[in-house]
Amino acid sequence: MLEEEDCLAGKPGPGQQEIILDRGKMNGIPLFRVRTGMESATIIRMDLAESLLEREIVGMELKEVRLTYGAVSQIE
């Protein structure tokens, strides 16, 4: 069971795919979940992702997220 972090910089709009995280709210956990509306996403730190890729893990899809310091008023 992954720990859930409340570190979204703003609520995604309808159909919004990009995830923007507030770095100030993150606790430094290398693997955690964030709730994005009705769904959730698994977030991994870059060092963990690189380590998994070096080990040639299969079945993992990576997507880039954006980091900010502070809340974003509206995510477009």
pLDDT score at 44: 95
Number of domains observed in the structure of the chain: 1
53: Cα within 13 Å, side-chain hemisphere:
9
Q: Residue 67 forms beta bridges with which residues? A: 21
Between 48 and 71, where is the model more confident? 48
| E-only strand ranges, the chain | 20-22, 31-36, 39-44, 66-68
pLDDT score at 55: 95
pLDDT score at 71: 66
Domain range for 58: 1-76
pLDDT averaged over every residue in the chain: 86
Q: What is the pLDDT averaged over residues 43-60?
A: 93
Cβ atoms 32, 5 nearer than 8 A: yes
pLDDT score at 5: 93
